[in-house]
């Protein structure tokens, strides 16, 4: 400071007054909630990586079955239980077409490659695995739709209007959620045939309950906050308050919870198909493929490994992306 004192001259004592611009300047960049959430999500390497894996799985589910022309249902006992073979990658033991050192393809005189091998009936596992993945993704999509169109609306009505409406709607939810999902589905399966339609109806009937509860809580919290009261004081209608204030403010949370309910639904379908109550042969689902492979796991493990790997990846990635989104939207982390 002493050195600095030396440079101080008389003319520096000229009054300049407060610098209006500098003192009112907002020192940090203004970031919108969405931009901020996006930035934070992209920064989360694990979540971003999982997101790309999901995109890859979705693309493969769409184009995978068209990459060869064996079809999902084509059977041929000549080519039953063939191990995976990819000629270009045959130096990798897992894709050599050999089992216990014996080249099964040569033994049976099969010329084509089966990238994931074949099942007991000689159906191509590659096509069936991706067809099963399609089923999983459809289930996930249905769960998401159920969340948004039933859960959000139900919870929104219950929370926004409160009072008697809320009381009745909550009693109904209490009864629905008082019964395990498994039991709901079994009851439905008894009445209807096991299959995609039954599982869809079961998801539509039960999967939105958690979302409805969360949205209701959020509505209760938001509608008593000052900015909503202010808007109401200024004469805003119910519709305007709902669509301009309440929904935009809970959208982040709705997205996050949708992301978490997707893997739950996918798991449930795989679980049902695994115990034989979901998608049944000849249709393919990851759960039923794993179940078929299980009986001969010790002899032909590849029949279980690929569908098992894909369902695990699907569930892990959906959960990690969900976590990433939750962290990205969490206002407590926003600085």
Partner 1 sequence: MEKLLEIQNLNVQFDIFGAHVQAVRGVDLELNIGETLAIVGESGSGKSVTSKAIMGLNPMPPGKVTGGKILYNGQDLAHASDKQMQKIRGKEISMIFQDPMTALNPTMKIGKQIMEGLIKHQNLNKHDARARAIELLSLVGIPNPDKRVEEYPHQFSGGMRQRVVIAIALACNPKILIADEPTTALDVTIQAQILDLMRDIQKKTGTAIILITHDLGVVANLANRVAVMYGGKIVETGTLDEIFYHSKHPYTWGLLSSMPRLHAKTDKLLAIPGTPPDLSDPPKGCPFAPRCPYAMKVCQDHMPDYTKVTDTQKTACWLLDSRAPKVEPPKTVVVGGN
Partner 2 sequence: MGKYILKRIFYMLLTFYVVITLTFLSMKLLPGTPFQNAQKLTPTQLNTLKHYYGLDQPVIVQYGKYIWNFIHGDLGTSFQFGNTPVTSLLFQQFPVSLDLGIEAMIIGTIIGILLGIVAGLHHGKTTDWSAMILATFGFSIPSFIFAGILQYCLGVLVQIFPVAGWGGPMTHVLPVTSLAVGVLAEVTIFMRTEMVEVLNQDYIVTAQAKGLTRSAVVFKHAVRNALIPVVTILGPMTAAIITGSVVIEGIFGIPGIGKQFVSSIITNDYPMIMGTTELYSGLFILTILIVDILYGVIDPRIRISGGHS
User: Residues 16-35 vs partner 1: string with x where CB under 8 A?
Assistant: xxxxx-xxxxxxx-------
Residue list 155-214, contact with partner 2 (CB under 8 A): 174-175, 178-183, 186-191
Query: Could you say which of partner 2, partner 1, none residue 331 binds, taking C-beta under 5 to 8 angstroms by partner kind?
Result: none
User: Per CB under 8 A, does 299 bind partner 2?
Assistant: no
Q: How many degrees, rounded to 5, is the angle at CA 295 between CA 289 and CA 297?
A: 85
Query: Does the protein bind partner 1 through residue 5 (CB under 8 A)?
Result: yes
Task: Dig out the tokens for 283 from the structure.
Answer: 């249709």
What per-residue string of b and e applies to 221-251 under the rule 16 or more CB within 10 Å gives b?
ebbeeeebeeeeeeeeeeeebbeebbbebbe
335 is a contact residue toward partner 1 (CB under 8 A):
yes
Question: Is the distance from CB of 294 to CB of 304 less than 8 angstroms?
Answer: yes
Q: How far is the CB of 275 from partner 2 (least distance, A)?
A: 5
List 94, 197, 275, 333, residue binding partner 2 (CB under 8 A): 275
Q: Which is nearer to partner 2, 58 or 86 (CB)?
A: 58
Within 13 Å, how many C-alpha atoms sit on residue 139's CB side?
Answer: 35
Do strands 98-99 and 102-103 pair parallel, antiparallel, or not at all (unpaired)?
antiparallel
* Cβ neighbours around 145 below 10 Å, total: 16
> Which region among 2-10, 100-108, 140-148, 275-283 touches partner 1 (by CB under 8 A)?
2-10
Peptide bond into 282 cis (omega under 30): yes
CB of residue 152 vs partner 2: minimum separation in angstroms?
21
At closest approach, how far in Å is the CB of 5 from partner 1? 8
CA distances from 140 to 56, 59, 85, 207, 264 (A): 16, 15, 31, 11, 8
Closest distance between partner 2 and the C-beta of residue 190, in Å?
A: 5
**Using CB under 8 A, which of 12, 164, 175, 191 touches partner 1?**
12
In the bound state with partner 1, the residue whose beta carbon lies nearer, of 28 and 66, is: 28
Interacting partner of 17 out of partner 1, partner 2, none (Cβ under 5 to 8 A depending on kind):
partner 1
Non-local CB neighbours of 303 within 8 Å, separated by 6+ positions: 81, 117, 119, 125, 289, 292, 293, 296, 297
Q: Give me the least distance between CB of 90 and partner 2, in Å please.
A: 25
**DSSP letter (8 states) at residue 117:** -
Of 8 and 77, nearer to partner 1 (C-beta) is 8
Q: Is residue 308 a contact partner of residue 48, using CB atoms and an 8 Å limit?
A: no
276 is a site residue for partner 2 (CB under 8 A): yes
Angle in degrees, 0-180, between the axes of helices 125-146 and 302-329, rounded to the nearest 10: 30
**What is the nearest approach in angstroms of partner 1 to the Cβ of residue 213?**
24
Partner from partner 1, partner 2, none contacting 175, C-beta within 5 to 8 A by type: partner 2
48 binds, among partner 1, partner 2, none (CB under 5 to 8 A by kind): none
Output the smallest distance, CB 237 to partner 2, in A. Answer: 29
Pick between residue 5 and residue 193 the one whose CB is nearest to partner 1: 5
What separation in angstroms does the CA of 271 have from each of 22, 185, 278, 281, 308? 63, 12, 8, 15, 12
Q: Is 226 in the site for partner 1 (CB under 8 A)?
A: no
> Of the candidates 254, 259, 308, 328, which one interacts with partner 2 according to CB under 8 A?
308
Query: Are 119 and 74 in contact, with CB atoms under 8 Å apart?
Result: no
Q: Which does 35 bind (CB under 5 to 8 A by kind): partner 2, partner 1, none?
A: none
CB 155 within 8 A of CB 332: no
* Residues forming the site for partner 1 (CB under 8 A): 1, 4-5, 8, 10-20, 22-28, 335
């Amino acid at each position: 400071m002493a050195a600095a004192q030396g440079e101080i001259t008389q003319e520096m004592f000229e009054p300049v007054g407060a610098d209006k611009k500098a003192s009112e300047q907002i020192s940090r960049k203004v970031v919108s909630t969405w931009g901020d959430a996006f930035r934070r999500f992209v920064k989360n390497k694990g979540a971003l990586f999982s997101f790309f894996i999901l995109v890859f799985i979705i693309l493969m589910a769409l184009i995978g079955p068209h990459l060869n022309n064996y079809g999902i249902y084509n059977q041929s006992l000549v080519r039953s239980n063939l191990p995976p073979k990819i000629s270009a990658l045959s130096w990798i033991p897992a894709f050599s077409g050999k089992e216990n050192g014996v080249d099964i393809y040569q033994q049976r005189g099969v010329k084509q490659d089966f990238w994931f091998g074949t099942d007991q009936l000689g159906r191509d596992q590659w096509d069936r695995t991706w067809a099963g993945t399609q089923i999983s993704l459809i289930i996930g999509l249905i769960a998401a739709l159920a969340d948004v169109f039933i859960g959000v609306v139900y919870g929104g009505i219950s929370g926004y209007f409160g009072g008697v409406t809320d009381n009745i709607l909550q009693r109904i939810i209490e009864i629905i959620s008082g019964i395990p999902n498994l039991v709901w589905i079994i009851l439905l399966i008894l009445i209807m045939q096991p299959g995609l339609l039954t599982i869809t109806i079961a998801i539509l009937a039960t999967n939105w309950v958690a979302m409805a509860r969360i949205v209701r809580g959020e509505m209760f919290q938001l509608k008593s906050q000052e900015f909503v009261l202010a808007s109401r004081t200024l004469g805003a209608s119910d519709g305007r308050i709902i669509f301009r204030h309440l929904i935009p403010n809970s959208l982040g949370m709705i997205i996050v919870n949708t992301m978490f309910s997707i893997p739950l639904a996918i798991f449930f379908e795989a679980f049902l198909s695994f115990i034989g109550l979901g998608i049944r042969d000849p249709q393919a689902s990851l759960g039923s493929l794993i179940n078929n492979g299980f009986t001969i796991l010790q002899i032909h493990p590849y029949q279980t490994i690929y569908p098992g790997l894909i369902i695990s990846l699907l569930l892990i990635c959906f959960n990690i992306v969900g976590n990433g989104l939750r962290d990205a939207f969490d206002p407590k982390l926003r600085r």
